[in-house]
Amino acid sequence: MPNRLGLSLEAFKQLIAYHFPTLKQTELPQPQRQLDPDRVDERDELIRLLLKRLDDGSNAVSDRPAPSLLSIDPQPSQQQRWMAEIIAAGCMGSDHLWQDLGLWNRAELSRLMEQNFPSLAQRNTGDMKWKRFLYKQLCEAEGIYSCRSPSCEVCVDYHACFGPEN
């Protein structure tokens, strides 16, 4: 993870004060890893995706468009904002997302996604690897369909997108 879990200094201080109110922040170690400046746009796209509100059609009327990512949630909580930035920073890593986030396994990441971004998490119906899932959402939002098969079940890349992450 980059400095301060990818959060700004101010946001990181707020996060620490929220979760560890008695900790003296002057004692925090100085991190060394910077976010790659060439990937800031990518990181910001991921944050926007995570904070978007999914219209799942549950209140649908007949002429309503198909479920789609519509707009930024008018009021995502502070915790959601922190978590969106942390997850986006984790996506810049080169290992499985749960590993780069310092979690124990993918199930923990699934729980984190369901708790913080339930609408988006519900779209991952096939238990796709989360980093793959997030980037696939971005590609589809841009109209980019780079999959080599029309169906995951018969795709040669199936194990790259699904399956265990150990």
Tell me the C-alpha distance between 49 and 138, whole Å. 7
Exposed/middle/buried for residue 16 (C-beta within 10 Å: 0-12, 13-18, 19+): middle
Binding to ligand SF4 by residue 127, rule CB under 6 A?
no
Query: Taking contact as CB under 6 A, which single stretch among the options 6-14, 66-74, 75-83, 145-153 is the one that binds ligand SF4?
Result: 145-153
Strands (E), 60-110: 68-72
Tell me the C-alpha distance between 120 and 85, whole Å. 15
* Position among 161, 163, 164, 165 found at the interface with ligand SF4 (CB under 6 A): 161
CB of 46 to ligand SF4, least distance (A): 17
Binding to ligand SF4 by residue 147, rule CB under 6 A?
yes
Nearer to ligand SF4, 22 or 146 (CB): 146
Nearer to ligand SF4, 31 or 126 (CB): 126
Binding to ligand SF4 by residue 141, rule CB under 6 A?
no
Binding to ligand SF4 by residue 1, rule CB under 6 A?
no
Nearer to ligand SF4, 40 or 144 (CB): 144
Tell me the C-alpha distance between 47 and 68, whole Å. 17
Instruction: Fill in the amino acid letter for 96.
Output: H
* Contact (CB, 8 A) for 53 and 71: yes
Nearer to ligand SF4, 21 or 150 (CB): 150
With vertex at residue 105, the alpha carbon angle to CA 92 and CA 147, rounded to the nearest 5 degrees, is 55
* Position among 33, 114, 158, 163 found at the interface with ligand SF4 (CB under 6 A): 158
Query: Which parts of this chain interact with ligand SF4 (CB under 6 A)?
Result: 136, 147, 149, 152, 155, 157-158, 161
